[in-house]
Amino acid sequence: MTTALPRLANAAALNDFQKQALPKIAIRHDPKAPPYEGVTHHIMVCFDTGCHASGGGAVALELEKELAAKGLDKKVKVVRTGCHGFCEIGPLVTVYPQDLFYIRVKPEDAAEIVEKTIIGGQPLERLFYKLNENAPAVSKWKDIEFYALQNRITLRNCGHMDPGEIEEYIAGGGYQALAKALGMKSNPEALLNEVKKSGLRGRGGGGFPTGIKWELCRKAAGDKKYVVCNADEGDPGAFMDRSLLEGDPHRVLEGMLIGALVIGADEGYVYVRAEYPGAIRRLRQAISQAEQMGLYGNNILGSGWNCTIHIKEGAGAFVCGEETALLRSIEGERGIPTARPPFPAISGLWGKPTNNNNVETWANIPDIILNGGDWFASRGTEKSKGTKVFALAGKLNHTGLVEVPIGITMRKIIFDIGGGIQNGKQFKAVQIGGPSGGCLPASLLDLPVDYDSLVEAGAMMGSGGLVVVDEDTCMVDLARFFLTFTQSESCGKCTPCREGTTRMLDILNNITQGKGQKGDIELLETLARSIKQAALCGLGQTSPNPILSTLRYFRSEYEAHINDRKCPARSCSALLTFTIDKDKCLGCCACQKVCPVEAIEGDKKEPHVINQDKCIKCGSCEDVCRKAKAINRS
């Protein structure tokens, strides 16, 4: 970690410092770059929460231990990075200047990496990525299809720099956009026009044009204004914002400072959930370093302009992702939504004009200011510009964090980048937009992923959660799962959301338990549309989306549950019948031993039978009958 940093007096001093810092990271970009301070190799270890949880921290420590034992600790630098993206094959290690990419690295691999790659200069091929057993090994991360098809702009530093060293961020062009903005601070309208020209839309879910949002706040009357960063990220399975804050915190901070300058604010807040200690630690560190260098706080880069950003730790309530609830929480009140208008841009924090964007939105700002709005707008579609970060999860072969141009098809994301469906199963649906998003079927795989197309199809971009399910997933049960989350997270303030989601959940529970009744589908549709129209906030209004989208595309599954008392996916246990194939049964008695209600009858080495009157359909017998596969479910 940096201990002593110079204070930069102006943009010229920033340029000089960038030139001095550039050699520190040159070896990662040019294998012929001369050693900086005698360092000949960089070993980049993914230290994001995911890789750290799977052993990345232990890998880094073991590498440092081995290097010290060989007397190489001064020549080889172990760098703990943010998220590299390909979480499913972590912990990830990249070695420079050879540019070798190692996957699923264990602490016990450290000695061989040092001996063979660092000392011997040879690749460790057994740690290379392979698409499958018969595919060739790939030595460089850029050549892996998962990365090759992405367009990493917002994420370009994540996994490739030490987020705890401000020098590395500056060496890569960091804070140049802020310096440019400060040079234009007498003409903030020009900066605002670049944001409007870029076509950037809010990446937190609603997709409202960022430039227009900024303009409303800028024009609002008020002697005090605020900027806010929404890093609450309550969607299950979503980790885009956390990864950006952990892997590139200065980018987010720089974006907020530029936004504050344009809007006319001198103070702001990052609202981050307390369950993100790594992100909070990195952000505090970034603020401290930026202040020490004169890039934050008082008299930023000698411009005479001051700005302070505070960190507010949230308690983890999903509803605090809604901006009015978030603002109330910052004020110390209970985080519940308030009626709009007035909108926060007019009356937000403590009644003052406030601009709120999410982490990814702020992270796009430095590139827009530095390269221009037209540069950003060259990607994406006519109405949805730029790139979008998605968290891929579910029944995919390749899960992790990806950044793609908006307008890419769902098929490319799922099958080309995501590697297709696990275990050769059939793709069934993708749930996009978080728990308030929609479920889209195979017939829409070629749908362009942009704000308007997704809404028309019954889904939404959301913050970027993307969950893929296969043929074994019951869509009624999936809708029930997501509604269980939104119902339990409802703040309870408004009746449509509080009572309506509870009633819908009761109906879905009955349907999946074999207690569905004629008219349930029509009642679900009526309740869902009423909630969308009458709920107070966006979270309540979008909570019926999983139900409406599954009714739209998978209505036959609801009908089968109600009319036939069958689950087509053979997933809902209450609607299943377990039987034993006598021709396959080995009479091993394993199923008898685990049956909690003694429903399985039969002697040893003789075919067994399940007593249907006793069977509670728990599936324990199926779990243990893996060798013979004699248990059938229907």
Closest CA to 151 of 89, 85, 88: 85
∠ at Cα 409 (405, 414), nearest 5°? 100
pTM of this prediction? 0.92
Write out pLDDT tens, residues 444-464. 999 999 999 999 999 999 888
pLDDT, position 1 = 45
**Residue ranges in 205-305 assigned as alpha helix (H):** 210-219, 240-247, 249-263, 277-292
Q: Report the amino acid identity of residue 385.
A: K
Handedness of CA 19, 23, 25, 30 (dihedral sign): positive
Look up tokens 């749908």; give the residue.
447
Strand pairing category for 93-96 and 41-46: antiparallel
CA dist., res. 440 & res. 604, Å (int): 48
Question: For the chain, how many helices (H) and strands (E)?
Answer: 25, 17
Q: How many CA atoms lie within 13 A of 12 on its CB side?
A: 0
Q: Check: CB of residue 193 under 8 Å from CB of residue 373.
A: yes
Strand pairing category for 308-314 and 427-432: unpaired
CA dist., res. 121 & res. 142, Å (int): 20
* CA R_g for the chain: 27
Let me know if 249 is exposed, middle or buried by CB neighbors in 10 A (0-12, 13-18, 19+): buried
Write out pLDDT tens, residues 216-267. 999 999 999 999 999 998 888 788 999 999 999 999 999 999 999 999 999 9
SS (H, E, C) 159-212: CCCCCCCHHHHHHCCCCHHHHHHHHCCCCHHHHHHHHHHHCCECCCCCCCEHHH
Residues 490-500, buried b or exposed e (16+ Cβ, 10 A)? bbebbebbbeb
- Both tokens of 309, joined, read 């950003």
Q: Which residues contact 494 (CB under 8 A, 6 or more apart)?
A: 534, 535, 536, 537, 540
Q: Is the peptide bond before 277 cis (omega within 30 degrees of 0)?
A: no
Look up tokens 């408004």; give the residue.
494
pLDDT-flagged residues of the chain (< 70): 1-3
Backbone dihedral angles phi then psi of residue 132, each to the nearest 5 degrees: -155, 180
Q: Check: CB of residue 385 under 8 Å from CB of residue 151.
A: no
pLDDT, position 550 = 96
Percent of residues in the chain assigned helix, strand, coil, to nearest 5? 45, 15, 40
User: What domains lie within the chain, and their CATH numbers?
Assistant: 21-148 (3.40.30.10), 173-377 (3.40.50.11540), 387-473 (3.10.20.600), 476-564 (1.20.1440.230), 577-633 (3.30.70.20)
- Both tokens of 502, joined, read 């509870």
> How far from each other are the two terminal CA atoms of the chain, in whole angstroms?
59
Q: Check: CB of residue 96 under 8 Å from CB of residue 42.
A: yes
The secondary structure of residue 25, as a DSSP letter, is H
SS (H, E, C) 366-434: HHHHHHCHHHHHCCECCCCECEEEEEEEECECCCEEEEEECCCEHHHHHHHHCCCEHHHCCEEEEEECH
pLDDT, position 56 = 94
Q: Is the peptide bond before 342 cis (omega within 30 degrees of 0)?
A: yes
